[in-house]
Amino acid sequence: MCGICGIFDRSGRQVDQGLLERMSGALKHRGPDGEGYLLDRKIGLGHRRLSIIDVTGGQQPISNEDNTINVVFNGEIYNFVELRTELQGHGHHFKTRSDTEVIVHAWEQWGEDCVNHFNGMFAFAIFDASDRSLFLARDHLGIKPLYVASSGDRLLFASEIGPLLQDSGLDRAIDIDALAELFTFRFVPSPKTLFKGIFKLQPGHFLHATAKGIEIRRFWNKVPQQRRHWREADLVEEYQVLLEDAVRLQMRSDVPVGLFLSSGVDSGALLAIMSQYTSAPVQTFTIGFEGADRSNEVDDARATARLFGADHHAMMLGPQDYLDHFRRYMGDLEEPVAHEPAPAFYFLAQLTSSKVKVALTGQGADEPWAGYDRYLGVKMSGAYSRLPHALTNTVASLVGLLPFPMERLKRGVVSLGERDILTRFIKVYSFFSADMKAQLYTGALKAGFDKAHYGTKAALQQLQADVAHLDPLSQMLYIDTRANLPDDLLMVADKTSMANSLEVRVPFLDHRLVEFIESMPPQLKLHHLTGKYLHKKAMTKWLPPSTVYRRKKGFAHPVANWLKGPLHDVIDDCLLSSNSHMSRYFEPGYLRQLVAWHRQGREQLMRQIYLLLSLELWHRTFLTR
């Protein structure tokens, strides 16, 4: 796990060494164990190292025998042992034990197709001196980020946005279209970022830059084809074997590997499997919140840890802890999201990094397996949306008039009546309704807003087109796994963990597992009212039924109450004061109304307010000099 950056000039001009060093310096938290550079006229590569594999011999950049190919790499190639043996069979010679060198020789052997041989989480850059080209690639599911800025013949890239902002020639300006997408989807879908001129290389894509130009292509585009003939018991066994192999591969490390442990089935199963592959107690880590006693995971997680003899560590967060980090966390996150527990992940990573350098997490099982309540609504929507519009509109109006705050119910009913599948999905995502946006937006946002069009569809259209032949539930699971997951949850996990120099691995997102899950019919994912149906059946191999079928708590937190109490002054400062930048984009009077309704308990507006807070903090961190 590391941080990478680079400068490539297609015209052949000498790159700015000082800029490259500043870019690398901005990544020091991702790799405090060392740094390395390659400077060769039109190319500059920088690397910050967190030593995980081949601690003594894996310094980067790493080259082939004649130094014509150099690579800098962030992530892990989990199947590097098998690939190394295969490449040696083709006559390649290795000078290190690192997984990074496998990328070098895989490029020599297979060229662009090398990415299809990798099982891992990765963002890497290869400079090939034979044709003086640059090749960038990002893993199948976007577990590792990769940001790019291109101006004329010059291209800059980095693991984070901060290094790109070291370039004084890059204008720090907000992308209004991306801002509109943020307030539709709760995150900015790839390839955009909120910064004008900076984009994300999309998951499962590569970029190949030569003197002739820049080409971006998708390498992981396996379209799901659901199985027609199957036996449930066979599928359970096949899934168990795949998951065990994913955990086995992801425990490969020359340093100890820990686990983020919640009260749920996913991380509990990982602990059980990890315990099979190590003789020492697994170190596990849990975080809880003061004021969330009924939903805290600490006690249940501790019980699961005891079940497998783990060395367990836990900490409780109070509102002051949250507040202290909240004021600066956007500097770590770099991209606003409506993800209220996000600052807490920083403290979980901080606790974990005090004991280990690598941790596994149960993240990534809910999206492909239909683990969220919203998927039940999507399943019901097919029949509901075919009812007469007069009836569904009446139901939506009546629910909207309910005298108590039920934001999710109201949003769900509005989305259920939408007949167009993609528009329905967008309404499920967006907790700022069309009416709210019409009252909220001002300036450039207002000028580009069409109330009849519920936000842009372009960000998700290609993904939906991939699976248009499938049922609505399967379509949304596919989209969530490739959009919501990498651009929100995985981004938060990467940025908060790397801010603490911790590597986080995600076994449930082994791309072989995802492809397997997507080959199954929807009734094995959401069976009647039970989400993650076959997944839970498979987990009973490792966990007692009481744990497997325990009610899902999620990452429970009392932030809604804190916003009304301990974080009261933060809201006033960020959204209602004369120092707020939000009046550039939003109507101040309506902002005050939203805050008042939340404080009075008239509406559940925690997520809306949290997103507005995050945007203001982002603005102060990056756009206000």
By annotation, the residues acting in catalysis are: 2
CA distances in angstroms from 340 to 36, 488, 497, 531, listed in the order given: 36, 11, 16, 23
Nearest to 149 by CA among 192, 112, 182: 192
Backbone phi, psi, residue 95, to 5°: -110, -10
Distance CA 123, CA 137 (A): 6
DSSP-derived 3-state class of residue 55: coil
DSSP-derived 3-state class of residue 206: strand
**DSSP sequence for 285-324:** EEEEETT-TTT--HHHHHHHHHHTT-EEEEEEE-HHHHHH
Distance CA 1, CA 505 (A): 10
Strands, DSSP E only, in 426-520?
503-505
Nearest to 582 by CA among 622, 614, 559: 614
**DSSP sequence for 612-623:** HHHHHHHIIIII
Angle between helices 232-250 and 265-276 (to 10 degrees): 70
Backbone phi, psi, residue 69, to 5°: -125, 125
Distance CA 297, CA 341 (A): 14
Name residue, tokens 């029949």: 383
- Long-range CB pairs of 472-475 (<8 Å, 24+ gap) are 472/378, 472/379, 472/381, 472/382, 472/421, 472/424, 473/370, 473/375, 473/378, 473/379, 473/522, 473/525, 473/526, 474/224, 474/226, 474/518, 474/522, 475/421, 475/425
Nearest to 49 by CA among 57, 60, 38: 60
CA distances in angstroms from 83 to 51, 87, 106, 149, 180, listed in the order given: 21, 6, 8, 32, 44
**DSSP sequence for 77-118:** ETTHHHHHHHHHHTT---SS--HHHHHHHHHHHHGGGGGGG-
What residue type is 399 in one-letter code? V
Query: Three-state SS across 141-170?
Result: CCCCCCEEEEECCEEEEECCHHHHCCCCCC
* Terminal-to-terminal C-alpha distance of the chain: 32
Nearest to 133 by CA among 125, 141, 142, 122: 125
